[in-house]
Amino acid sequence: MSEMKFTIDGKECAAKAGQTIVEAARDNGVYIPTLCHYEGIKPAGACRICTVRVGGRNMAACTTPVTNGMIVENQTPELEDMRKSIIEMLFVEGNHMCPVCEKSGNCELQALAYRYTMLAPRFPYLWPKRGVDASIPKLYKDGNRCIQCLRCVRGVRAADGRKVFGLVNRGGHVRIGHDAELANALGDEEAQRAMDLCPVGALIRKGVGYAVPIGKRKYDGAPIGGELERA
Amino acid sequence: MSKPVVATASLAGCFGCHMSVLDIDERILTLIDLVEFDKSPIDDIKTFTRQCDIGIIEGGCCNSENVENLRLFRKHCNILIALGECAIMGGLPAMRNGIPVRECLEEAYLNCPTVDGGIIPNDDELPMILDRVYPLHEIVKIDYYLPGCPPSADLIWNALVALLKGTPLDLPYEVVKFD
């Protein structure tokens, strides 16, 4: 496999052929914020948090493969503010009530808001009317918190590879539906995996929770992406 | 030079943010040296006695009295701070925003399992419930936002120090939290 050379904010980086900008950046110790991206499942480019500038154009770093000699801009003030604005948009687009959410402290949306020091969203709240679906035996599905990153759609599969979750409706009415038969068959382990896949608190396991005290949760002490930057 | 004057209020909040103000511990002695309090539950002054420099509001607006009080604060305070999740986005009370008011009232006063022959309160003395819970900035202009449930004492302290000294606000990672 051939090695390719490219730069991120002037830093010389190397990438293997076929690697996306996000993957290659991580291998070179550079953090590009991601939200809908999850290692091991096919990138969707749904949230655009990872937007970088290449050749004067904005591209989703999670879906764009590196090419030889590519010049990537990552931490420019414009890009950072655009990423912050996407986070703020996601906060006003749903009903994100961190104080009552079990995922608080382990939530990637919240962690990104912390990383960008979001004190309050700059956009007006939309107060959408969305419900909680408690029909799956092992999981709550809370539409209020869903950011439609499609991680569950892409990542949660039955043993034969069929998708458990899928999109229903169109446009602003899109929500995550599920195949009742496959969802009902989810065991504890699969339910936990689905909850871990969900970056926010839209998939929550029933019967367990709040096991980790405040102060010891994933993003209580250190910002998301910090592990790459400290290394 | 006279001391800067601070006023505070809790609207549709739980007083947790005010508790967090007290959580600045012994720094409260310094604060008392630096500022004077006007209308506030801290000194129990009920009405504004003068124009204030800083107004700190906890809680959103869930009824007509909250709105009146908030407008009063905007009028009497040069700088208005939304303190905590409820002030910023409605918080816990805003969980009713997707439910019609009538349904909420019926559930609380008529259909709740512990109610026996209840009535929905409707007295002229009572403030009117709003159709939903409004964050402060949807009603008046808000100058600064301090998130948290409650905001950490250090965040409140850092913000007050920055305002009083006219320096940039120090926001280390640990102090900005939404829960």
Digit-coded pLDDT (tens) for B33-83? 999 999 999 999 999 999 999 999 999 999 999 999 999 999 999 999 999
DSSP A204-216: EESS----SPTTS
Quick check: B147 and A119 CB within 8 A? yes
| List of residues 6+ apart from B140 with CB closer than 8 A | B70, B71, B73, B74, B80
Query: Exposed, middle or buried by CB within 10 Å (0-12, 13-18, 19+), for B13?
Result: buried
- A-B contacts (CB, under 8 Å): 64
Domain boundary among A19, A44, A74: A74
Mean pLDDT on A139-150: 96
Domain boundary among A74, A95, A112: A74
Q: Answer yes or no: is A136 within a domain.
A: yes
Quick check: A99 and B132 CB within 8 A? no
pLDDT digits (tens, 9 = 90+) for A177-195: 999 999 999 999 999 999 9
Tokens representing residue A224 in the block:
């998301």
Q: Tell me the chain B residues in contact with residue A84 when contact means C-beta distances shorter than 8 Å.
A: none
Q: Answer yes or no: is A109 within a domain.
A: yes
Q: Answer yes or no: is A27 within a domain.
A: yes
Pick the residue from chain B with its C-alpha nearest to A104: B179
CATH number where A69 lies: 3.10.20.740
Mean pLDDT on A62-68: 97
**Is any Cβ of chain B less than 8 angstroms from the Cβ of A127?**
yes
| Res. A228 pLDDT band, cuts 50 70 90 | confident
Residue A1 has pLDDT above 80, yes or no: no
Residues A88 and A69 in one domain: no
Residue A48 has pLDDT above 60, yes or no: yes
State ipTM. Answer: 0.92
**Is any Cβ of chain B less than 8 angstroms from the Cβ of A10?**
no
Residues A28 and A123 in one domain: no
Residues A98 and A175 in one domain: yes
Total domain count, chain A: 2
Residues A44 and A106 in one domain: no
Quick check: A98 and B179 CB within 8 A? yes
In 3D space, the residue among A221, A13, A231, A183 whose CA is nearest the CA of residue A105 turns out to be: A221
Q: How much of chain A, in percent, has pLDDT values that exceed 90?
A: 94
Q: Answer yes or no: is A227 within a domain.
A: no
- The position carrying tokens 């950072």 is A80
CATH number where A97 lies: 3.30.70.20
Q: What pLDDT, on a 0 to 100 scale, did the predictor assign at position A126?
A: 94
Q: Per DSSP, what are the bridge partners of residue A70?
A: none
Residues A97 and A201 in one domain: yes
Tokens representing residue A96 in the block:
């994100």
Residue A88 has pLDDT above 80, yes or no: yes
pLDDT digits (tens, 9 = 90+) for B81-133: 999 999 999 999 999 999 999 999 999 999 999 999 899 999 999 999 999 99
* Residues B156, B24 contacting (CB under 8 angstroms): yes
The alpha-carbon gap from B2 to the nearest alpha carbon of chain A, in Å, equals 31
Q: Would you tell me which residues 77-116 of chain A have a C-beta closer than 8 angstroms to some C-beta of chain B?
A: 95, 97-101, 104-105, 110, 113-114
Cα-only R_g, chain A = 18
Distance CA A75, CA B176 (A): 22
Residue B10 has pLDDT above 70, yes or no: yes
Residues A70 and A172 in one domain: no
Residues A93 and A51 in one domain: no
Distance CA B69, CA B73 (A): 6
| Residue-range definition of the domain harbouring residue A46 | 3-74
Tokens representing residue A226 in the block:
């910090």
Residues A37 and A98 in one domain: no
Q: Would you tell me which residues 81-100 of chain B have a C-beta closer than 8 angstroms to some C-beta of chain A?
A: 82, 85, 88-92, 94-95, 97-98
Mean pLDDT on A204-226: 93
Q: Tell me the chain A residues in contact with residue B171 when contact means C-beta distances shorter than 8 Å.
A: 117
The alpha-carbon gap from B125 to the nearest alpha carbon of chain A, in Å, equals 30
Q: Tell me the chain A residues in contact with residue B136 when contact means C-beta distances shorter than 8 Å.
A: none
